[in-house]
Amino acid sequence: MKSSSFDNLAKLAVVKEYGAAFRKATGVSLIIVPADQPHQPFGREQNLFCGLIFQTPGGCRACSQTERQVLRQAAQKETAQQFHCFAGLTVVAVPVMVAGRHSATLVSGQVLRREPSPRDFALISKMLGDGLNASVVKKVRQAYFAIPVVTAERFQSIVKLLTLFAQQLGEIASRQALATAAVEPQPVVLAKEFLKSHADQDPTLAEVAQQAHVSSFYLCKLFKKTTGMTFTEYLARLRVEKAKTLLLNPMARVSEVVFAAGFGSIPQFNSLFKRYVGMPPRQYRHTMHTRLNP
C-alpha cells in the first residue's frame, strides 16, 4: 500500500512538470513509484516493445525479475542503479531519500545502448519461446527496432539529471513535512509555531504543550498522528534544516553552525545530520558548493 508520505510526494506539481520536461528533452520515460513497489513499475509509461513483451509468459517473468532487481538494489544501496534486461534494454532506478529514509524511487530507461540488429531480435524471439503467432512477432519486431538508442555519454547525463532531481525532491519533501498545513489541528499548529521560533533553544514537551493549551500526553499523541513524527524528531529535523542553510555560508565554521542551529554537541549534530541528510555536514557543504559553483 502506498504510504501517505509517498502520496504527498507524488502530488507535488514539480513531479508532473519535471517528468513532462524530462520526457520531451530526452525521449525517455520517467515515473515515480513507492519505495516498496513490488514490480512492473512502468505500467502505461512503458514503451510499446516492453508492453508487448510483458504480455508473453517468458517476457512477463523476465521483465518482472529485472524490475524487482533494480528497485531492490536501489533501496538497499540508496544510490542510482542500472540493470540490463534479457532483451538488452537498460533500466535505471534512483532512490528519493526524505530525511534519511527511502520514500520513493524514480524509474527511467527502457532504452538500448547500441543499435539493434536482426541477430539481436532473433535471439530475443528464441528466448520468448514458441507459441507467438506471426502478427504478434511482427508487432514486437517493429516495436523493438523503434526503441530509443542512447549513447553512453548521453545516458550518464540522464542518470545525473535523475539523481539531481531525486535530491531536489528529497529537499522539497523534507521542508514540506515540517511546514504547517491548513487542515492541521490548532494545537499542532501552535506547537509547530513555537518550536520553529525556539528551535535554537531547548524547549521541553511541557513548555510546548502549555503554548498549545493542551496536556503533554494529548499533544504527544496528536502531534505524532498528524505529522507522522514524534516531538523530538520534528525538533531535530527543524534544527537540521536550519543547519543546512547555515552551512551554505563558507565562512561559518561547523562548530558555529552546531550551536546556532540548537544542537547540544558536535557528535549529536553529526549523527543527526547524517541520519536525515544522508551524508556528513562537511560533505553536504562541499556538495552544495560544487552544485552552486560549477
Those residues whose C-beta lies under 8 Å from the C-beta of residue 122, and which sit 6 or more positions away, are none
Q: In the predicted model, is pLDDT for residue 191 greater than 80?
A: yes
Please give the tally of structural domains in the chain: 2
The CATH number assigned to the domain holding 214 equals: 1.10.10.60
Q: In the predicted model, is pLDDT for residue 36 greater than 50?
A: yes
Q: In the predicted model, is pLDDT for residue 66 greater than 90?
A: no
Rounded-to-integer distance, Cα 280 and Cα 270, Å: 6
* Mean pLDDT in residue range 97-104: 87
Judge if 88 and 154 occupy the same domain.
yes
Judge if 32 and 128 occupy the same domain.
yes
Q: In the predicted model, is pLDDT for residue 40 greater than 60?
A: no
**Nearest residue to 162 (alpha-carbon basis) of 206, 204, 106:** 106
Grid coordinates belonging to 167: 535530491
Q: With residue 269 as reference, give the H or E element that holds it.
A: helix 266-277
Judge if 124 and 92 occupy the same domain.
yes
Which has more confidence, 59 or 240? Answer: 240
Judge if 211 and 170 occupy the same domain.
no
Judge if 169 and 189 occupy the same domain.
no
Task: Name the average pLDDT for the chain.
Answer: 86
- For the chain, report the end-to-end CA distance as a whole number of angstroms: 40
Chosen domain end from 128, 159, 176: 176
Chosen domain end from 133, 161, 176: 176
pLDDT value, residue 58: 67
Rounded-to-integer distance, Cα 193 and Cα 121, Å: 62
Judge if 132 and 60 occupy the same domain.
yes
pLDDT value, residue 37: 64
Judge if 60 and 142 occupy the same domain.
yes
Give SS3 for 39: coil
Highest mean pLDDT among 34-38, 46-50, 82-86, 93-97: 93-97
The model's confidence at residue 60, banded by pLDDT at 50, 70 and 90, is: low
pLDDT value, residue 211: 94
The model's confidence at residue 70, banded by pLDDT at 50, 70 and 90, is: confident
Put simply, whether the predicted model's pTM sits higher than 0.95 gets the answer: no
* Mean pLDDT in residue range 28-56: 73
β-strand partners of 97: 102
Judge if 141 and 221 occupy the same domain.
no
Judge if 205 and 278 occupy the same domain.
yes
* Mean pLDDT in residue range 109-124: 90
Judge if 51 and 194 occupy the same domain.
no
Q: Could you count the other beta carbons within 10 Å of the beta carbon of residue 108?
A: 26
Chosen domain end from 158, 176, 194: 176
* Mean pLDDT in residue range 43-62: 71
Q: In the predicted model, is pLDDT for residue 10 greater than 50?
A: yes
The model's confidence at residue 160, banded by pLDDT at 50, 70 and 90, is: very high
Judge if 147 and 21 occupy the same domain.
yes
Judge if 21 and 155 occupy the same domain.
yes
Instruction: Tell me which amino acid residue 184 is.
Output: E
pLDDT value, residue 128: 75
* Mean pLDDT in residue range 240-266: 92
Highest mean pLDDT among 20-24, 64-68, 172-176: 20-24
Q: In the predicted model, is pLDDT for residue 2 greater than 70?
A: no
Kindly give the pairing relationship between strand 29-34 and strand 89-98: unpaired
At 118-135, the pLDDT tens digits run 999 988 888 776 656 788
The whole domain housing 163 covers 4-176
